[in-house]
Amino acid sequence: MVDAFVIETIFIFQVHDWQQMSIFEKGKIIVTGGAGFIGSALIWALNERGFEDILIVDVLDKSDKWKNLAPLRFDDYIEAEDFLKKIEEESFSDVALMLHLGACSTTTERDSAYMMQNNYQFTKRMAEFCFKNDARFVYASSAATYGDGIQGMSDSTENLHVYRPLNVYGYSKHLFDCYALKKGWLEKIVGLKYFNVFGPNENHKGDMRSLVNKAYAQIKETGRIKLFKSHNPNYADGEFGRDFLYVKDAVQMTLHLTENENANGLFNIGSGEVNTWNELANSVFAAFYLESKIDYIEMPESIRGSYQYHTKADISRIRAVGYENEITSLREAVRDYVQNYLMPDKYLGD
């Protein structure tokens, strides 16, 4: 007969061991948008840590997005529409975590109903799925929620409702942030306000690719880079800018918040610095060891009224929950991207 004390002791140790396990070890990881830019980069980073029990949910369209998946290791892939049907019919007791990156991220998209369905309603369903299955939920919000920045760019929820996004993409993300706050969800989930992320695995994004990716092609073709002229009297041509963040830093910040199960709420994912478009262009030329040659062109009228001239992430909240890694400098990040991925035509994991 086994002593009751022994049984109780074993149970206590088992509970303790479970609590000490990383969230990535507790069960299956679902990554929506896993074939996309940041989604595939997150899977690459998980693979680097030795985790492969991953279900990818995405929509493989006519682009080359599928190429992002080729070097990665994961358990299974399912189309988003099929996944929605599946979660209505079955329970998923083995799921520990969902990294919800799936969304329409085209900031020029005018179909508001489509955007709201994909970015707002779909996110609600994913959150509810995680609550039902006792899984951690981490989702992508956006710096586009801050609009023109007049009200600041703080990831505190104290004044969340004062922000006025400049396009329906930003509004669809902001609406879920506000809904999650109202429902009390932000006390147990993580929302990530990504700033201008760039790096490997974005080739499929078309016009939504970063300037670094576009500039690489322009330099190869013409030896020059095109930048928009300023239509804001406060900024000279090329002297307005953004908070640019290398995707490798973005995924490390994301995984830190995911693993720290006491870190919940909204978090800015950025560098905490502003770099101008001229500085970014000069960094690309430096990666080619070339002299900078920049042409300033008219900004399309369709985006002039909704253009963000200045973004800068306040990253004090993520620092406060223990993220101590140094952010890669713009010039070093661009060099790594151009020389180690764009020039050899490689993907993360190759």
Q: Which among 302, 204, 193, 310 is positioned nearest to 253, based on CA atoms? A: 193
Average pLDDT over the chain reads: 92
State pLDDT tens for residues 154-179.
999 999 999 999 899 999 999 999 99
Are 225 and 123 spatial neighbours (Cβ–Cβ below 8 Å)? no
Structural domains of the chain, count: 1
- Dihedral angle sign, alpha carbons of residues 42, 48, 54, 57: positive
Q: If residue 139 lies in a helix (H) or strand (E), which one and from where to where?
A: strand 136-140
CATH number at residue 163: 3.40.50.720
Domain membership of residue 231 (yes or no) is no
Domain membership of residue 319 (yes or no) is yes
Most confident stretch, 84-93, 158-167, 179-188: 179-188
What Cα–Cα distance (Å) separates residue 200 from each residue in 58, 60, 63, 192? 18, 18, 16, 20
State pLDDT tens for residues 122-159.
999 999 999 999 999 999 999 999 998 889 999 999 99
> Active-site residue numbers?
169, 205
Domain membership of residue 103 (yes or no) is yes
Domain membership of residue 66 (yes or no) is yes
Q: Picking from 82-96, 113-127, 226-240, 308-322, which range would have the lowest pLDDT averaged per residue? A: 82-96
CA dist 5 and 233 (Å) reads: 76
pTM of the entire structure? 0.92
Domain membership of residue 337 (yes or no) is no
Which strands, in side-by-side order, build the sheet including 190-194?
76-79, 54-58, 28-32, 95-100, 136-140, 190-194, 265-269
Torsion angle (degrees, nearest 10) of CA 211, 213, 218, 224: 50
State the CB neighbour count (10 A cutoff) for residue 267: 26
Question: Where would I find the H helices in 3-142?
Answer: 4-20, 37-48, 80-89, 112-116, 122-132
- Domain encompassing residue 264: 21-198+244-271+311-327
**Per-residue tokens: 276:** 């101008």
Domain membership of residue 264 (yes or no) is yes
Domain membership of residue 57 (yes or no) is yes
18 pLDDT tier (thresholds 50, 70, 90) = very low
Domain membership of residue 59 (yes or no) is yes
**Per-residue tokens: 310:** 């200045």
